[in-house]
Amino acid sequence: MPGSCAALTARCIAAVREIGAESGTGNDVQIGQPPSHLESREDDMVKQLQGQASKILELYQEGGRPGPADSDLSRADNSETQLLLQGLEKLLSTSYSKFYAYLSSELPLWLRELYTDASILKFSLLFLSSTFAACPAENRISLATGSKDRLDDELNNMVRTLDLAVILAGAAGRVRGRPWIDETFSILESVSAPFIRTPGVDTGSGAWADLPTFSKYEPFTPPVRHRVRRMESISMESFQIYLDRGADRALGPEPLVIHGLVDHWPAMTTRPWAKPGYILSRTFGGRRLVPVEVGRSYVDEDWDQKLITIGEFLRYHIGTSSVAEPAQAPQPSTVTTAIPTAPAYLAQHPLLTQLPSLRADITVPDLCYTAPPPHPTHPALFSRPELDEPQLNAWFGPPGTITPLHTDPYHNLLVQVVGRKYVRLYAPAQTPRMRPRAMEGAVDMANTSLWDVGVEEGWDSGDRGGDVGEFSKVPYVDCILEPGDTLYIPIGWWHYVRGLSVSFSVSFWWN
């Protein structure tokens, strides 16, 4: 798309010019723009950032044309470009190493802005030196046909660079930050669309009906013994009455499964999250980067975290190899799921903030705008500042993923979009019997129980953490969430969650 390519070229040049100006070089920032936190910093890394911006501007003149020094060279192979990339990589590595000196909640904004701006510089350099920007519009199709691997590598590097800024630094920035990155992703998709295609995925009208869905296979299904109360869709007014009255005035409202609350979501209908082809089409063909947990549970010794692409996550942990086959190959009605030896779980991640294309497929339930009661047993201890908007997190994984027994600091609506999950809940009054964990290093684990429900029940192997007889006497309620179900989890309620099949859920925290 020549127009999109020119727009992205101009956008990159403008961002490089702004970063240099804000760091003390070049022209002043546009009147009316808010200042960057980097302007007042006297730091070697900020000086390095300004130096890199100046060199990029010298090499790539306004409009994205190569300067005189490299006019006869392929920009992707230009040695000056490679030296600039190495300098930016070093700056990104150095700035990120500084993150470890702080708790995540206390990480200085200027440091996050610096990492984000360095990432934007790197992306801009990658794009300006890429085949997409360098090749004349009339020759792009023929060049792309013979250079698919190169185009893939270039696109992968660009996408990864911006996603790392989002995931590691929160895409911080008053002038650019997340809005700049979101818009850039959108333009980059237009630029790359003629050359980059997800095999077997047609994004045209009505395309999703014939594509395969995630497997519904459940290797193990726990029995439900004390069912959570279930009801059909409830109005906001009726839900407020439910919150105000509660089953026990002293202990507050109880959990509730609500059916039909999200039937209108595009994620459940016209833009189905149940189809891996759709997920790939909304994540740059699976190129978007996400953090996943590796292991059975975050309290296990062998638990780990890593960053992988959505495509790798689907292929190696969900079991969707069939969607990567050529379009002409026969497609099954469901995608076979292979159970990995170490499950990977995309858990409690703000995926929908990272991917506005998926965020558009859901709406915040009206119930999140009710006024819920405080914590029923320790209102002062567990109070939190009032949220302006509900906090959204995604939970996506294969069968067998587990969130251990824990409590949340907010009221929670857990919406099941794809697959099924087993949930067990214990009332706040049972907290003394929940065996809360202690501090582990600098992390307060008091919201997580020492009881391993799967092990205590004999569903999973492992050493029991206490007297199983004592555990079995603690009263609880449980349920299995079906696609379209919403589970209300009141603040203070301990809950254990187990994925039974391939499962995709969204949680809404509010207070």
Spans of all domains in the chain: 2-192, 230-324+338-510
At 116 the pLDDT is 97
d(CA 151, CA 139): 14
pLDDT value for 328: 35
- Give residue 231's pLDDT: 94
Task: State the pLDDT confidence band at 70, using cuts at 50, 70 and 90.
Answer: very low
State yes or no: pLDDT of 382 exceeds 90: no
Using pLDDT thresholds of 50, 70 and 90, give the confidence band for residue 325: very low
Q: Hey, which residues does 309 pair with through a beta bridge?
A: 289
Among the listed residues 18, 13, 122, the one whose alpha carbon sits nearest the alpha carbon of residue 58: 13
| 57, 47 Cβ separation under 8 angstroms | no
| Burial of 307 per CB tally in 10 Å (0-12, 13-18, 19+) | middle
Q: Which long-range contacts (CB under 8 A, 24 or more apart) does 237-240 make?
A: 239/367, 239/370, 240/370, 240/371
Question: What single string gives the DSSP state of each residue in 428-471?
Answer: GGGGGGS-B--EETTEE-TTBBS--HHHHTTSS-S---S-HHHH
Share of the chain above pLDDT 70, in %: 78
Least confident of 2-16, 66-80, 338-352, 472-486: 66-80
Strands 256-259 and 230-232: parallel
- The confidence score (pLDDT) of residue 503 equals 97
Give the Cα separation of 318 and 343 in Å (integer).
9
Please indicate whether residue 248 or residue 404 has the higher confidence score (pLDDT): 404
Lowest mean pLDDT across 45-49, 62-66, 145-149, 191-195: 62-66
Token pair of 20 as six digits? 């240099």
Q: What CA–CA distance (Å, rounded) separates 248 from 260?
A: 26
Which tokens hold the place of 283?
Answer: 């994540």
| pTM score, whole prediction | 0.87
For residue 75, the model assigns a pLDDT of 47
Using the structure block, give the residue that is written with the tokens 């990272």.
Answer: 354
What number is the average pLDDT over the span 140-161? 78
230-324+338-510: CATH number: 2.60.120.650
501 Cβ contact partners less than 8 Å away, ≥ 6 residues apart? 214, 215, 216, 217, 218, 337, 399, 419, 420
- Per cent of the chain over pLDDT 90 is 60
Specify burial of residue 356 (Cβ count, 10 A radius: 0-12, 13-18, 19+): middle
User: Structure tokens of 191?
Assistant: 């630029």
For residue 201, count other CB atoms closer than 10 A to its CB: 21
Nearest alpha carbon to residue 329 among 216, 211, 214? 211
Separation of alpha carbons 27 and 74, rounded Å? 30
Q: Is the pLDDT score of 247 beyond 70?
A: no
**Is there a contact between 184 and 123 (Cβ–Cβ < 8 Å)?**
yes
> Please, are residues 404 and 497 in contact by the beta-carbon 8 Å criterion?
no
Q: Give the residue-averaged pLDDT of 408-422.
A: 97
| Torsion (CA) 69, 72, 76, 81 in degrees, nearest 10 | -10
Check residue 83 and give its pLDDT: 93
Q: Which range in 209-213, 293-297, 318-322 is most confidently predicted, on average pLDDT?
A: 209-213
Pairing mode of beta strands 304-309, 439-440: unpaired
Query: Which SS3 state, helix, strand or coil, does residue 77 take?
Result: helix
Angle between helix axes 177-192 and 148-169 (nearest 10 degrees) is: 160
